[in-house]
Amino acid sequence: MSITMTEKAAERVKSFLTNRGKGTGLRLGVKTTGCSGMAYVLEFVDAADPADAVFETQGVKIFIDPKSLIYLDGTELDFAKEGLNEGFKFNNPNVKATCGCGESFNV
Amino acid sequence: MALLQISEPGQSTKPHERRLAVGIDLGTTNSLVAALRSGIAETLPDESGKHLLPSIVHYRAAAEPLVGEQAKRLAVSDPLNTIISVKRFMGRGLADVKHLGRQLPYEFTQTDTAMMRIRTVDGEKSPIEVSAEILRALRQRAEVTLGGELNGVVITVPAYFDEAQRQATKDAGKLAGLKVLRLLNEPTAAAVAYGLDKATEGVIAVYDLGGGTFDISILRLNKGVFEVMATGGDTALGGDDFDRLIAEWIMHQAGIANESGHAQLRQLLQTACAAKEALSQQTSVDISVATDSGIRWQGMLTREQLHTLVDPLIQKTLATCRRTLRDAQIDTSAVQAVVMVGGSTRMVRVREKIGEFFGASPMVDIDPDKVVAVGAAIQADILVGNKPDDEMLLLDVIPLSLGLETMGGLAEKIVPRNTTIPVARAQEFTTFKDGQTAMTIHVVQGERELVSDCRSLARFSLHGIPPMVAGAARIRVSFQVDADGLLSVTAREQTTGVESHVQVKPSYGLTDAEIEQMLRDSMQHAQDDVAARTLREEQVEADRVMEAVNAALAVDGELLSVDERRNIDQALGNLQQLGKGTNARAIKTGIEQLDKATQQFAARRMDRSVKQALAGHNLNEFINPK
């Protein structure tokens, strides 16, 4: 089981957390919704769940609930810039199909 | 693959349900757009990395207008078609604009609606259309940056903007295809950017010194709602004036004649501005300019010299601050926080002087050019529904004063316009006649003094007032406007508790244009209204006095001699006659005459009632009560 993060993504997450002034890390997850089955969850963590799997990468703690982990194993979180738009990107090897916009996916 | 932002715990949105909202600072000189991304509110730059969009629109024949930097470059070569500082014209008629007292290069036209227009090669443009072009440019930038259509925007306006100016701003947003969630006062936005709304209460001063204008606002925060206590400012004082002073100093030092050409003057102003900015970082700056003789002049400006130059201007802003605090009826010790807005507040001297004046170091952590847009973005994010409801701020205001009719057809304002809602206000009223058992409450809306010039909203009656002498009953009338603008009015007689109430929607059926018209009328008729009010007040007072005298005559008339009675009757008849006229001063004199004629009578009545009260009693009973 592994979850990783690019240096750029880690840098951003750290600066967002500092700016926010609270939070212990980042939550990655999936929920069943959207036009192609599942959607990513990307949230700040204030209180971790005891059942969460915890990964530490590039000095950032990543929390994932066990159910989501099945769909996310091997994922690398990246921070990308597309023109003026910028944000986080899940490079998930489990994905078989995404919807047109890429906001939801299928495994 | 879509790019994601980090959400608050438990606030992840479903795909395609992300709600995008931005805050827009629609400024006189520059405009900005800001958004909240991964918990951070920041202004969005354009392709070349510039955050500020010059609020300038250049119209072309048979082509899309140019906005921003491109338009700015054409300002000198084609002034008639390049609209600068359009914010000054928002919601104004031609007459108002002429009062701005500036030489404006535009050709104005006035249509039958109250709005003025500017003639360009692309046809006549209203200030709303020009502002919409600026908003459209910002909208496009935001949609490209955020990767989707905007669900809503918050646009900021100066705290002193009246209803017509606010409406014009809203209309510009609509025209640009934006859903305007709310207009937010600029000082309030600055306070929100610093998170000052998180406190429960307090007084905040917002010092806004921009390029060409100065504003000071005193806000009171109460239960998460900002109320504007007072505003002041100077529409012709800003960083540009600082630059001019420095440029004049350079000209004097270098021996450059006053009548230098435009190009040289502009060069000088740029040098001055650069020197001013450099002196915020260092204590002295070298200056080199070309003189008339063609030889370059080399000199040095120290921070101390700069201070001597600009101190009078800063003092001027402090005098305005002092006046505004007086308007708010507080002194500097009551101010808990001072927020700095506008590029000119970067000057170290301005910060020092403000710190001294308020006895507190001003808040300067957020870029003063961006702080208003940042606050608007935070507010927009909450309003669009990305935050739980309990963080919702309610900052709406009522557009026109609400009040009721009092004797003589006068409108008594209970809730003044621009009051933030929800709001509850109450006032006590009393009866006019002896034994009055019912009262009609007529709820009106508007700024005028006479009920006939205001809009009637509702009428209802309060019955069951116990019979008392005039002026003894205490009827409390409460106005309550909820968050949706729904007004309920309750009248309650305090001794018996009898109550009656009515509910209305004040803005129902009133178009924006009508609201604008009502405001315009109230300004135009201010003088007439004061006169009308004075007259009605004297007439009501005359009626009240005559009523009282007649009642007294009916009871104690025999206390008077024939002559005395004739005198009083004459004064009564005279006052009755005057009361029908329109001379307020004459009515006042008539009242005084009647008062004089009845003084003896009143004294005798007093004696009689004292005697009656004492009759059958021993004096000792009053001195030594048992």
**What ipTM was reported for this prediction?**
0.81
Q: How far is CA B496 from CA B232, B240, B473, B474, B502, in A?
A: 46, 65, 10, 10, 20
The CA-to-CA distance between both ends of chain B, in Å, stands at: 97
Length of chain A: 107
Question: Do A87 and B4 make contact, defined as CB atoms within 8 angstroms?
Answer: yes
CB distance B547 to B433 below 8 Å: yes
The pairing of beta strand B499-504 with beta strand B487-493? antiparallel
* Block residue for tokens 């030594």: B624
Interstrand relation of B63-67 and A76-82 (parallel, antiparallel or unpaired): unpaired
pTM exceeding 0.90? no
DSSP 8-state symbol, B383: I
Residue in chain B lying closest to A100 (CA): B1
User: CA–CA separation, B16 vs B29, rounded Å?
Assistant: 36
Evaluate if residue B291 carries a pLDDT over 70: yes
**C-beta neighbour count of B582 within 10 angstroms:** 11
Amino acid identity of B17? Answer: E
At B319 the pLDDT is 94
Q: Give the span between the Cα atoms of B581 and B539, in whole angstroms.
A: 9
Convert the pLDDT of each residue in B381-406 to its tens digit: 888 876 655 455 545 567 678 888 88
pLDDT at B92: 73
Band of the pLDDT at B110, cuts 50, 70, 90?
Answer: low
**Active-site option among B46, B129, B208, B538:** B208
β B455-462/A76-82 pair status:
unpaired
Domain limits at A54?
Answer: 4-98
Q: What pLDDT is recorded for position B54? A: 94
Within-domain flag for A106: no
Q: Check residue A81 and give its pLDDT.
A: 84
Q: How far apart are CA A99 and CA A35, in angstroms?
A: 7
**Average predicted confidence (pLDDT) for chain B:** 83
| pLDDT at residue B516, rounded to an integer | 65
DSSP B453-470: GSEEEEEEEE--PPP--T
Q: Which CATH number belongs to the domain containing residue A34 in this structure?
A: 2.60.300.12
Tokens of residue B417, six digits: 């316009």
Of A39, A45, A98, the CB nearest to B1: A98
What digits encode the pLDDT tens for the residues B468-505? 888 888 888 988 887 656 788 889 888 888 888 877 75
d(CA A79, CA A77): 7
pLDDT beyond 90 at B101: no
Instruction: Inform me whether the pLDDT recorded for B598 exceeds 80.
Output: yes
- Supply the pLDDT for residue B176: 92
Round to whole Å and give the CA distance between B493 and B498.
5
* Residue B70 φ/ψ, nearest 5 degrees: -60, -40
Residue B25 appears among annotated catalytic residues: yes
B186 catalytic, yes or no? yes
In the predicted model, what is the mean pLDDT of residues B74-83? Answer: 86
CB atoms A19 and B40 under 8 Å: yes
Measured CA to CA, the distance from residue B254 to residue A19 in angstroms comes to: 49
pLDDT average, residue stretch B119-131: 90
Query: B56 pLDDT band (50/70/90 cuts)?
Result: very high
Residue type, B590: G
Q: What is the pLDDT of residues B186-200, one digit of tens each?
A: 999 999 999 888 777
Domain count, chain A: 1
Q: Label residues B193-229 b or e (16+ Cβ within 10 Å = b).
A: bbebbeeeeebbbbbbbbbbbbbbbbbbbeebbbbbb
Q: How confident is the model at residue B518 (pLDDT cuts 50, 70, 90)?
A: low
Percent of chain A residues past pLDDT 70, beyond the cut: 84
- Per-residue pLDDT, B71: 92
- CA-based nearest residue to B59, from B46, B78, B31, B85: B78
Contact B582, B534 (CB under 8 A): no
Q: Kind and range of the H or E element at B125? A: strand B123-125
Instruction: Determine whether the interchain pair A102/B1 forms a contact, defined as Cβ–Cβ distance below 8 Å.
Output: yes
pLDDT value at residue B626: 46
Which of B82 and B106 is assigned the larger pLDDT? B82
Asked whether residue B162 carries a pLDDT value surpassing 50, the answer given is yes
For the cut 50, the answer to whether the pLDDT of residue B509 exceeds it is no
> Which residue of B1, B46, B147 is in closest CB contact with A89?
B1
Residue A23 lies in a domain: yes
Does a structural domain hold residue A55? yes
pLDDT reading at B303 higher than 50: yes
The residue among B398, B428, B426 whose CA lies nearest residue B414 is B426
- Taking an 8 Å cut-off on Cβ atoms, the answer to whether B145 and A101 are in contact is no
What are the residues facing B487 on neighbouring strands?
Answer: B481, B504
Residues of A in contact with B16 (CB under 8 A): 34-35, 101, 103
Closest CA to B187 of B335, B39, B20, B58: B335
Element containing residue B286 per DSSP (H, E): strand B284-290
For residue A15, pLDDT over 80 is answered with: yes
Nearest to residue B132, comparing CAs of B81, B184, B181, B168? B168
Q: Give a yes or no: residue A83 inside a domain.
A: yes
Tell me the H-state helices in B89-183: 94-99, 127-146, 163-175
Instruction: Summarize the confidence of residues B348-374 as an average pLDDT.
Output: 94
Quick check: A85 contacting B, CB < 8 Å? yes
Residue A73 lies in a domain: yes
Which of B12, B40, B46 is most worth mutating to test chain A (most A CB atoms within 10 A of its CB)? B12
Cα–Cα distance, A9 to B4 (Å, whole number): 12
A103 lies in some domain:
no
* Lowest mean per-residue pLDDT among A82-86, B150-154, B168-172: A82-86
Q: Supply B443's token pair.
A: 């709820």
Residue type, B107: E
pLDDT tens, B205-237? Answer: 999 998 878 999 999 887 667 878 888 888 778
Interchain CB contact of A21 with B (< 8 Å): no
- Structural domain contains residue A75: yes
Residue B610: per-residue pLDDT:
80
pLDDT at A100 over 90: no
Residue B418, pLDDT above cutoff 80: no
pLDDT at B620: 66
